Amino acid sequence: MTELEMRLLQQLEQQQRDSEQLVGGLSEQLRRLQTAVTQQRAENATLRRELAESDRQNAAALTKLAGRVERLTALLNGLGKRSSE
């Protein structure tokens, strides 16, 4: 094997090692990102459930409040009629 062939072989081996390190680093980053995405999806699902429950509670409170306003309006209208008589 000539000196040039030897150098080329060494360069190829170094490139192979560098590529393997790069792949290892990228694989680790991908694993971390996948873990983060999984956690984010779980958090998003929890937040959606909490938001849906909050919306349900708010709707119930609004319905209750609307009923109170209707009753108070009826009472005020009744008082207004009595005072005008």
pLDDT of residue 79: 85
pLDDT of residue 85: 66
Report how far apart, in Å, the C-alpha atoms of 39 and of each of 25, 33, 49, 83 are.
21, 10, 15, 65
Residue with tokens 């849906």: 52
- 3-class secondary structure, 84: helix
Residue with tokens 């790069």: 22
CA dist 65 and 72 (Å) reads 10
CA dist 71 and 18 (Å) reads 78
What digits encode the pLDDT tens for the residues 6-53? 999 999 999 999 999 999 999 999 999 999 999 999 999 999 999 999
pTM check: above 0.95: no
Output the six-digit token pair for 76. 């005020």
